[in-house]
Amino acid sequence: MNSETSMLPVLIVLIPLVGGVLAPIIGRGIFGWLLALVTTGAATFVSGTLLLYIHAQNTLTPPFAISYPLGGWPAPHGIELKIDLLSALLATLVSGMGFMVTLFSRQGVDDEIPADRRRFFWSLWLLAITGLLGILITGDAFNVYVLLEISSLTIYGLIAMGRQRNRQALTAALNYLVLGSVGASFILIAIGLLYAKTGTLNMADIHAKLLLAPVDATVLTARAFLLAGVALKMALFPLHLWMPAAYSTAPSAVAALLAATATKVGIYMGMRFIFSVFAMSGGAALSDANILIIGICCGAAIIFGSLSAARQPSLSLLLAYSSVAQIGYIVVGMTVGHIDAMTGSILHMVFHALIKGGLFLCAGILIYRLGTTRLEDLAGLGQRMPWVSGAIVVGGLGMIGIPGTAGFISKFYLLKGLILSGHPVLAGLVLIGSVLAAIYTWRFVEVAYLRPAGDTPLRNGLPFEKFLPVLLLLGASIYLGLQPGAIIDVAHDAAQQLLGGSP
């Protein structure tokens, strides 16, 4: 690896961290927004460069991963950053979404956050992105816990900043804090048990040592605690209860960022631990009993999430419950261990981040102009705000998986993988989910297009900088639906690395 790329891994985390620490000092007024924009943009550039580099190297000599020992202390004694294809892909996604939402949210922040708090808002924002990016690139188990708590604590604070618009933001943040801390503590217990068993904290080293040792109660307990903690962080049914309240009461920029990134990072943690740490030789990472239980949870997530989404009184809650269902798709593809299902899972992570991020930004536009996302107030939106309504419909079609949208590509791979690996029931659930997604998309279409225009006052204009990220994100979902070759390639190689037991 040449010297230019040698410090890039640590820069991914360092740039937002420095930004987050500088924000309370220099972040007054518009400078906070500019600082956030510059740092997230730089982080995106760095992760994107690394992604291209790793993908190119991986095509030559699979499996390829960059290892960066912090402080020069070599693994397994030191903490190392380990970036493989999945890490690089998700790091680019998270920093890219951070940049997009930052671009979008200048007026939103002015609107929803009191003036004396804004520099702290930007500080928490950048520190949350730092934590999320760090989880993606670290190769040390305890480092995962520390960065997880960094991102979680800042996110609790960010959600609570929505109290100006809706005081339930405080109870939502408190609820998420309690549940999230218990989940993170479970992960801590799991890491402690793994350390007791193997004597090391480096994830690759734990994997090597676990392969040599017999599977006993310690390992099984550690895995159980880990799955429970991770399931809570990624809002898998029935541990999703914190999510709808948190997403609908947070400031609109925060909701968009969380919907696009926080749960994906939770899913990444699950993938990383199950397939790169706990995987037994022979590639079987989860037993059939495990797959059954997780499959039931995913099926319940898909059905319950989609049905609940159709009953919600506001667009934000509808989108939140729809996310519960989408996470069901991603996790069900992850558990069966088949290369196509895993590819579909990774693709859906990326596409869902793009589409849901775009949809929550649309909800943010609605809050900015209408002050509410209650469906009864959105009557006739098709006439009053045609561009935004159209964007929401495009997003909904992506959720359903209409051919031509990115959602179709990921669902296709999921179905193919599930059927080929002998789980037709789960495949059927994915199909049912698409039909149910049509139900809640239709609910919005019915309100927006088939009802006479309501009279909630429209204030402010539609600033181009708010609509541009929406255009880019939802446009990307259409583009990737029509030209998916490159992203399928990357996702497939990432899945290959993961299932091949690569560290």
Partner 1 sequence: MSESVVLRTIGGMLFPYILVYGLYVQMHGEIGPGGGFQAGVLVAAAFILHSLLFGKELTDRLLPTWLVDLSMSLGVLLYIGVGIVGLVKGSYFLDYSVLDPTHPAHAEALGMTLVEAGVGLTVASVILTMVRKVNGEPA
Partner 2 sequence: MSLFETFNSIAFVVIMMLGLYTLIARQNLVKKTLGLGLFQTGIFLMYITLGVRDGGVAPILQEGAPLTYTNPLPHVLILTAIVVSLSTMAVALALIIGVREEYGTIEADEIATIDRADAEEGA
Residues near partner 2 (CB under 8 A) are: 142, 145-146, 149, 153, 156-157, 160, 163, 167-168, 170-171, 173-174, 177-178, 181-182, 185, 188-189, 192, 195-196, 201
Q: Choose among partner 1, partner 2, none what residue 192 binds, the Cβ cut-off being 5 to 8 Å by kind.
A: partner 2
Q: Which two structure tokens, joined as six digits, stand for 302? A: 């898909």
Instruction: Tell which residue, 146, 169, 168, has the closest CA to residue 70.
Output: 146
Q: State in angstroms the smallest separation of the CB of 22 from partner 1.
A: 7
Nearest distance from C-beta of residue 241 to partner 1, angstroms: 29
Q: Select from 25, 178, 425, 435 the one that contacts partner 1 (CB under 8 A).
A: 25
CB-nearer residue toward partner 1: 49 or 496 = 49
Residue that the structure tokens 């020992």 belong to: 69
Give the chain's length.
Answer: 503
Spell out the SS3 assignment of 187-251: HHHHHHHHHHHHCCCEHHHHHHHHHHCCCCHHHHHHHHHHHHHHHHHCCCCCCCCHHHHHHHHCC
412 binds, among partner 2, partner 1, none (CB under 5 to 8 A by kind): none
CB of 155 to partner 1, least distance (A): 18
17 near partner 1, judged by CB under 8 A: yes
Q: Which does 61 bind (CB under 5 to 8 A by kind): partner 2, partner 1, none?
A: none
- 236 contact choice in partner 1, partner 2, none (CB below 5 to 8 Å, kind-dependent): none
> Three-state DSSP class for 134?
helix
Cα–Cα distance measured from residue 81 to residue 204, given in angstroms and rounded to the nearest whole number: 11
Partner whose binding site includes residue 149, from partner 2, partner 1, none (CB under 5 to 8 Å by kind): partner 2
Helix (H) or strand (E) holding 69: strand 66-69
Q: Name the CA dihedral angle for 176, 104, 120, 268, rounded to a multiple of 10 degrees.
A: 40
Q: Give 144 or 391: the residue with its C-beta nearer to partner 2.
A: 144
Please, which residues have CB within 8 angstroms of residue 438's CB and are 6 or more apart in sequence? 400
Question: What DSSP assignment string belongs to 329-390?
Answer: HHHHHHHT--HHHHHHHHHHHHHHHHHHHHHHHHHHHHHHHHS--BGGGGTTHHHHSHHHHH
* Residue closer to partner 1, measured from CB, 19 or 183: 19
Interacting partner of 111 out of partner 2, partner 1, none (Cβ under 5 to 8 A depending on kind): none
Burial state string for 11-49 with b = 16 or more CB within 10 A and e = fewer than 16: bbbbbbbebbebbeeebeeebbbebbbebbbbbbbbbbb
- Asked whether position 7 contacts partner 1 by CB under 8 A, the answer is yes
Q: How far is the CB of 376 from partner 2 (least distance, A)?
A: 9
Nearer to partner 2, 124 or 394 (CB): 124
Which residues, including other chains, have CB under 8 Å from residue 493's CB and lie 6 or more apart? 55, 58, 59, 62, 85
Distance of closest approach, residue 154 Cβ to partner 2, in angstroms = 9
Q: Which does 163 bind (CB under 5 to 8 A by kind): partner 2, partner 1, none?
A: partner 2
Phi and psi torsions of 66, nearest 5°: -90, 135
CB of 156 to partner 2, least distance (A): 5
Q: Which option in partner 2, partner 1, none does residue 442 bind, with CB closer than 5 to 8 A by kind?
A: none
Q: Does 24 bind partner 1 (CB under 8 A)?
A: yes
In this structure, are residues 301 and 327 in contact, taking their beta carbons and an 8 Å threshold?
Answer: yes
What is the nearest approach in angstroms of partner 1 to the Cβ of residue 432?
49
In the complex, least distance from residue 238 CB atom to partner 1, rounded to whole angstroms: 35
Q: What angle do CA 23, 112, 326 make, to 5 degrees?
A: 90
Site string for partner 1, 98-117 (x = CB under 8 A): ------------------xx
Interface residues for partner 1 in 114-173 (CB under 8 A)? 116-117, 120
Is there binding between residue 10 and partner 1 (CB under 8 A)? yes
Which residue stretch of 17-25, 242-250, 298-306, 314-322 sits at the interface with partner 1 (rule: CB under 8 A)? 17-25
User: Would you state the structure tokens that stand for residue 73, as one six-digit string?
Assistant: 């202390």
CB of 123 to partner 1, least distance (A): 9
Give the total of residues touching partner 1 (CB under 8 A): 18
Binding site partner of 2, from partner 2, partner 1, none, Cβ cut-off 5-8 A by kind = none
Select the residue interacting with partner 1 from 34, 38, 70, 189 (CB under 8 A).
Answer: 70
* 262 and 155 Cβ atoms separated by less than 8 Å: yes
Strand partners, 68: 81
The total of other beta-carbon atoms located within 10 Å of residue 205's CB is 21
Burial class of residue 241 (count of CB atoms within 10 Å of its CB; 0-12, 13-18, 19+): middle
Q: How big, in percent rounded to 5, are the helix, strand and coil portions of the chain? A: 80, 5, 20
Binding to partner 1 in span 251-280, by CB under 8 A: none
Please tell me the distance from the alpha carbon of residue 291 to that of residue 334, in angstroms, as a whole number: 10
Position 72 contacts partner 1 (CB under 8 A): yes
Q: Using CB distances below 5 to 8 A depending on partner kind, what does residue 25 bind out of partner 1, partner 2, none?
A: partner 1
Nearer to partner 1, 25 or 56 (CB): 25
| Site of interaction with partner 1 (CB under 8 A) | 3, 7, 10, 14, 17-18, 21-22, 24-25, 68-72, 116-117, 120
